[in-house]
Amino acid sequence: MRRIGYIAAPDFHFMSLAALSVFEIANRTAPQRTYDVRLLSEAGGLLTSSIGMSIHTHHFDETKFDTLIVGGGLGIVEATPALVAFVQSAQTQTRRMASACSGAFVLAEAGLLDHRRATTHWLHAHELKRRYPKVSVQEDRIFINDGPVWTSGGGSAGVDLALGMVEQDLGDDIALTVAKKLVLYHRRAGGQSQHSTLLDLSPKSDRIQSAIAYARRNLNKPLSIGELAAVANLSPRQFSRAFHAETGQSPAKAIEKMRVEAAKLMLEQGRHPIETIADETGFADRERMRRAFLRTFGQPPQAIRRNARSG
């Protein structure tokens, strides 16, 4: 049995507890119960959230945990001396330490993030970097696993972090089944941006949503307007007009953004040659991909890869 300790701070955000559902569903999915989750706080007892509802918590004690997660709030979590001392003492006897959202400030104050890559909610990333210059803050990441220390962005990113932990513990099949049971539209890898192209598009109609989902699944294909229009059951002219009206951009521009986002993730993971990435993401050749990267990032793909490796 793996004991998960989740530290909640006063005025915690209820969304941060969503990650615990991943461990709950994993217990119901795996052949045997794997996780024992315990809510913790500095004083124990009832703890009130930012919306006014309360939860029961256990106070800090000598209990040993397999994984300890520091939760976040709507603002920066206060790293009290007792909280920092508890995290530091737990480090030597805990397999994994983690933070969700602004809980990263507690890990940083405890010194656990020194000379490690870490992320937090994009609203607080610059402040984390300013306060703790020894931390390699990567603000545009869903979650980061740097050895035994995990950190995630805000909101739903904690769910992605927890799924990553379940994958590490129980395998990809279990993690994928848990994601499906939670009705997640898309299971996000840690390297993805906190600002997704899909979120920016946010179409209103099912027809345009279906066309975008189809495009995302088939980025390695040419994806003509006629093909996407057929998925949406519209004529090419109707589709182009409806797409622009709902997303504020042309289908071609939106598809290029999705391709650039997918290619950037593959580059940062460093597993494939640039020619292969260009082919897999539908750019057809590396020169076309290079021009798209320059338009989007002001840098060629090689520079993106170098920056990822140096980080």
Instruction: Pick the catalytic residue from 4, 9, 101, 274.
Output: 101
Spatial strand order of the sheet with 54-59 comes to 45-48, 54-59, 35-41, 2-7, 67-70, 96-100, 149-152, 143-146
The whole-number pLDDT of residue 201 equals 67
pLDDT at 310: 62
Q: Report CA 19 to chain centroid distance, whole Å.
A: 11
Domain-located, residue 189: no
Q: Clarify whether residues 41 and 176 are in a common domain.
A: yes
Query: pLDDT at position 199, please?
Result: 54
236 an active-site residue?
Answer: no
Low-confidence ranges of the chain (pLDDT < 70): 185-202, 309-311
Quote the pLDDT of residue 185: 52
At 172 the pLDDT is 87
> Token match 């701070």: residue?
9
Q: Which domain holds residue 55?
A: 2-181
pLDDT at 304: 83
Residue 40 lies in a domain: yes
Identify whether 295 is part of a domain: yes
Residue 191 pLDDT: 47
Among residues 126, 153, 181, the one where a domain terminates is: 181
